[in-house]
Amino acid sequence: MTQKIAVLPGDGIGLEVTAAAVKVLERLRADFGLKIELESAPVGGTAYTAHGHPLPESTLKLAKQADAVLLGAVGGPQYDELPRELRPEKALLGLRAELKLFANLRPAILYPQLASASSLKPELVAGLDILIVRELTGDIYFGEPRGVRTLANGERQGFNTMLYAEHEIERVARVAFDAARKRSKKLCSVEKANVLETSGLWREVVVRVAKDYADVELSHMYVDNAAMQLVRAPKQFDVIVTGNIFGDILSDEAAMLTGSIGMLPSASLDAANKGMYEPIHGSAPDIAGKGVANPLATILSVAMMLRYTLNAAVLADKIEKAVATVLDQGLRTGDIYTPGTKKVGTVEMGNAVVAALVK
Ligand code: IPM
Ligand code: MG
């Protein structure tokens, strides 16, 4: 059966990194028997410019029809003045909500070849392999009411609402427990239960779900402490489960432990493991169009797609091996460059991965 992949390059470096990842998919189709069909559509600022909306109906329809979505990145300073509803970020949030992608998996893995690129001491991060499971369709990101209102004294006040229903907590907790079960059987739930009612309920539900996972060791940590522990002793963590806003922040922090946000892929999954796959870095307007962006996070996102949605774990392994090979060859984009290695651009790095794929 041929599976359909919607390719949404988006804005900024999204265009360059997706082009490199598509070459990897095409090579797998040509030489490794992967049965896929690719169809592209605009999203984000590019879509706003062409169609007047960051998530045009036709793009949403394609994403819904497809078996999996590959997304580059959205956003750029030229769109900052647009009304919130028309900003590129809205497309991303719209796709997450419309496709019901509630479970966001963000692995932070330090490739041994890049230990010296981390801002932390090599001994603190050597062998680092953390999985952050971030809830993606709830919390203060989507909670109503929200807005800016004018008080009786004429002063304006901004407000957002942190919301979590039990079923939302339970389903993401199960994804995290299942993931922990396949790894080192340790799960840390991160919230702010000492202050927030929402977090108190979060903890209660996670403890309840834990009864079905007696083999997984559950711990709880407040988010401020978790932020500190991630830079103090990151290897104490294996799988972390947390809400949308805390996960947004902690996953950027975890990314930096690995040397560069340019290395980290992500998967956003629905209840049936249909997913959207994207690098966790953004559109990086400062380097867009220069051909210097690191395509490895997007290429590794394709590996996650093969593993989680397309049931082709063998090919996922081959991609991950090919990435290790190019790092062994000493190839580095600017973000992971250290003296003594060879600096290459996006296209060269992507082509090297394609060439390193072996049967
Ligand atoms: C992310 C990004 C998005 C988020 C933005 C671009 C809306 O930071 O995927 O982490 O906040 O979720
Ligand atoms: Mg973020």
Question: How does pLDDT run across 159-191, given as a tens digit for each residue?
Answer: 999 999 999 999 999 999 999 999 999 999 999
Alpha-carbon torsion angle 133, 134, 135, 140, nearest 10 = 160
Cα separation, 87 vs 48, in Å, equals 8
Tokens 């919390």, located at residue: 139
Cα separation, 91 vs 100, in Å, equals 14
What average pLDDT does the chain have? 96
Cα separation, 225 vs 245, in Å, equals 15
Omega into 145 within 30° of 0, i.e. cis?
yes
Cα separation, 85 vs 83, in Å, equals 5
For the structural domain made of 111-263, what CATH number should be given?
A: 3.40.718.10
Work out the pLDDT band at 118, boundaries 50, 70, 90: confident
Q: Which residues line ligand 1 (CB under 6 A)?
A: 89, 92, 248, 282
* Residues 6 or more apart in contact with residue 111 via CB below 8 angstroms: 258, 259, 263, 323, 324, 327
pLDDT over threshold 90, residue 322:
yes
Work out the pLDDT band at 261, boundaries 50, 70, 90: confident
* 51, two tokens: 């169609």
Model pLDDT, residue 58: 97
Alpha-carbon torsion angle 239, 73, 353, 316, nearest 10 = 40
* Residues 6 or more apart in contact with residue 121 via CB below 8 angstroms: none
* Residues 6 or more apart in contact with residue 214 via CB below 8 angstroms: none
Provide mean pLDDT across the span 61-75: 97
Model pLDDT, residue 359: 83
The predicted-structure confidence for 142-156, as pLDDT tens digits, reads as follows 999 999 999 999 999
List the one residue out of 53, 5, 87 whose CA is nearest residue 298.
5
pTM for this entry: 0.94
Tokens 């999985």, located at residue: 131
What distance lies between CA 158 and its chain's CA centroid? 28
100-116 core/surface letters (b: 16 or more CB in 10 A; e: else):
ebbbbbbbbbbbebbbe
Q: Catalytic annotation on 248?
A: yes
CATH class label, 1-102+270-359? alpha beta
Work out the pLDDT band at 38, boundaries 50, 70, 90: very high
pLDDT over threshold 90, residue 310:
yes
Cα separation, 335 vs 328, in Å, equals 16
Q: Catalytic annotation on 139?
A: no
* Range of weakest confidence among 189-193, 248-252, 255-259, 340-344: 255-259
Q: Catalytic annotation on 224?
A: yes
Catalytic residue among 224, 317, 321, 328: 224
- Contact at 8 Å (CB) between 268 and 158? no
Q: Catalytic annotation on 141?
A: yes
Kindly give the number of the ligand 1 atom that is closest to the alpha carbon of 266: 9
pLDDT over threshold 90, residue 260:
no
Residues of the chain with CATH 3.40.718.10: 1-102+270-359, 111-263
What distance separates the 2 farthest-apart alpha carbons in the chain?
71
Catalytic residue among 164, 248, 277, 335: 248
Residue to mutate (ligand 1; options 71, 85, 92; most atoms within 8 A of CB): 92
* 296, two tokens: 């490895």
* 347, two tokens: 């296209």
Give 255 or 318, the one with higher predicted confidence. Answer: 318
Bridge partners of 226, per DSSP, are: none
% the chain with pLDDT above 90: 92
Work out the pLDDT band at 45, boundaries 50, 70, 90: very high
Provide mean pLDDT across the span 75-87: 94
In this structure, the residue with its CA closest to atom 12 of ligand 1 is: 248
Tokens 């998967």, located at residue: 267
